[in-house]
Amino acid sequence: MDAPDAARAPSSRARELLALLGLLCFAPGCATVWQGLTPQGPPAETESARRLRAGPWKVAREDLRLVDASRTTPAHHDLPAAPERRVRARS
């Protein structure tokens, strides 16, 4: 006589089908959550969307190295003194 638990245990084919069903339900749910996490812009014809559109001016970046030869730079911690002041800037 078979044990009562053996009659209730799913077969390997049934386990495979349950796993496949679980995967088919899990993947769309993940895709839905992922889509909800991506940034969404404002509605197309709102003031916010108008302000975010590309404007007529181009964007540029410039690295500057400015030197003031009229002022010295005193030593500071591990940095030695210098006969001028140098400043690097990015605009």
- Does residue 39 carry a pLDDT above 90? no
24 occurs within a structural domain: yes
pTM for the full predicted model: 0.33
- Does residue 18 carry a pLDDT above 80? yes
Q: How many domains does the chain have?
A: 1
Q: DSSP characters for 10-69? A: PPHHHHHHHHHHHHHHHHHHHHHHHHHHS--PPPTTSHHHHHHS--SSPP---EEEEEET
Per-residue pLDDT tens for 48-66? 999 988 888 888 899 999 9
17 occurs within a structural domain: yes
Identify which has the larger pLDDT, 49 or 27: 49
25 occurs within a structural domain: yes
26 occurs within a structural domain: yes
Structural domain containing residue 22: 11-35
